[in-house]
Amino acid sequence: MTVRTRADLDKLPAYVAGRTIPGSIKLASNEVSEGPLPSAVAAINQAAGEVHRYPDMGVGLLTEALAARFDVDPERIAVGCGSVALCEQLVQATCTAEDEVIFPWRSFEAYPIITHVVGAKQVRVPLTAGHALDLEAMLAAITPATRLMFVCTPNNPTGTLLRRAELEAFLDRVPSDVLVVLDEAYFEFVSDPDGPDGVEIAKQRENVASMRTFSKAYGLAGLRVGYTVAPPEVAAALRKVSIPFSVNALAQVAAIASLEAQDELRKRCANVIAERERVHRELVAIGYEVPETQANFVWLPLGERTTEFNEHCLENRVVVRAFVGEGARVTIGQPEENDAFLAAARSFGRIGG
């Protein structure tokens, strides 16, 4: 006899992480090349000598810092081991096997994996021809079994943003017993003044949660910490299903220090936004189709040419994230990294026409 694992896991796609290739420029995981904020590094160094102690299981100080920053009751906040852990907890907290989770597709690749592993039904709603979320189609997909909807804005991997007015109009039409999770992993990079602030929306609605992370703009991807501002009963359920001590001690102090370093954050986001606009402009000038982006990456919907483009970039020592048959997502890095990518994109244009 052999040990029996779940047979259905064989059919489950694995999460494909961006590759790290020594000597190459990694623009594959939407990390910020600049590194953690200097204040966070100082806090981590200081806390390093205390890691023989368990972390604060209730994540008290960070929860208070987030509550103060957003002017919400701490009861509305849940912190997770990365926002991807919160995605899983959200499905665990709302769904059993018969229930449905709606999400756009293509979007964050963790949604289908997590939904399947937890054991709920997944409903994928295709993006519009313009690579944006199709809110009408998402509304049409709602059934009495729907418990949860992920709304990713800006959307990973396409970069497209929902405007406040269209999002509010959509939320007005979602039944009040369906939880809408605004996945705002790239919120800090949004420069469009018409972009929504999910935390403000979550404060005003009984069935909306905003989910954000310290992994992207704050540069703490390696420490794993994200948070949600949610209705109090949802936040309580998330705490209930969380793995004890999953938010580690260094993550907690680094996140607090990062929150206090808003000037450092603003400066770095301004750099990313300026580089994003430059990269977008140059790609369009070369002749690529590039949807408008409000995140720290661009999306090249290359379809069948994606694999060839990916190989060409690798030959030029630039690692992008290829979605075979669909497109390539390329993170905005430091100016010289972006120059290396643009040079590869230019020479591919000459080869591929």
Ligand X SMILES: *Cc1c(COP(=O)(O)O)cnc(C)c1O
Q: How far from each other are the two terminal CA atoms of the chain, in whole angstroms?
A: 57
Q: Which of residues 164-203 bind ligand X (CB under 6 A)?
A: 183, 185
CB of 129 to ligand X, least distance (A): 21
Separation between Cα atoms, residue 184 and residue 199, nearest integer Å: 9
Token pair listed for 41: 């590094």
Number of residues that bind ligand X (CB under 6 A): 14
Q: Rounded to an integer, what distance in angstroms lies between the CA atom of residue 104 and that of residue 91?
A: 16
- Binding residue for ligand X (CB under 6 A) from 94, 156, 242, 258? 156
Task: Tell which one of 94, 158, 160, 213 touches ligand X (CB under 6 A).
Answer: 213
Among 47, 62, 66, 84, binds ligand X (CB under 6 A): 84
The single residue among 33, 39, 63, 83 that binds ligand X, judged by CB under 6 A, is 83
We find the least distance from the C-beta atom of residue 351 to ligand X, in angstroms, to be 30
Q: How far is the CB of 212 from ligand X (least distance, A)?
A: 8
Residue 337: partners with Cβ closer than 8 Å, 6 or more residues away: 25, 27, 33, 318
Residues sharing a CB contact under 8 Å with residue 99, sequence separation 6 or more, in sequence order: 120, 121, 145, 146, 147, 148
* Options 92-100, 202-210, 214-222, 321-329: segment touching ligand X (CB under 6 A): 214-222
Does residue 221 interact with ligand X by CB under 6 A?
yes
Out of 215, 228, 252, 296, the only residue in the binding site for ligand X (CB under 6 A) is 215
Residue 175 C-beta-side C-alpha neighbours within 13 Å: 11
> Is 30 or 160 the residue whose CB approaches ligand X more closely?
30
Query: C-beta of 183: minimal distance to ligand X in Å?
Result: 5
Judged by CB under 6 A, the chain residues 15 through 34 that form the site for ligand X are 30
Scored b (16 or more CB within 10 A) or e, 156-165 reads bbbbbbbebe
Residue 242 touching ligand X (CB under 6 A): no
Q: Could you write out the DSSP letters of every residue in 35-87?
A: -S-HHHHHHHHHHGGGTTSPP-TT-HHHHHHHHHHHT--GGGEEEESSHHHHH
Site residues for ligand X, window 97-116 (CB under 6 A)? 108
Report whether 79 contacts 249 (CB < 8 A): no
Using CB under 6 A as the binding rule, the residues of this chain from 294 to 333 that contact ligand X are none
277, 299 contact by CB (below 8 A): no
Contact residues for ligand X, defined by CB under 6 A: 30, 82-84, 108, 152, 156, 183, 185, 213, 215-216, 221, 226
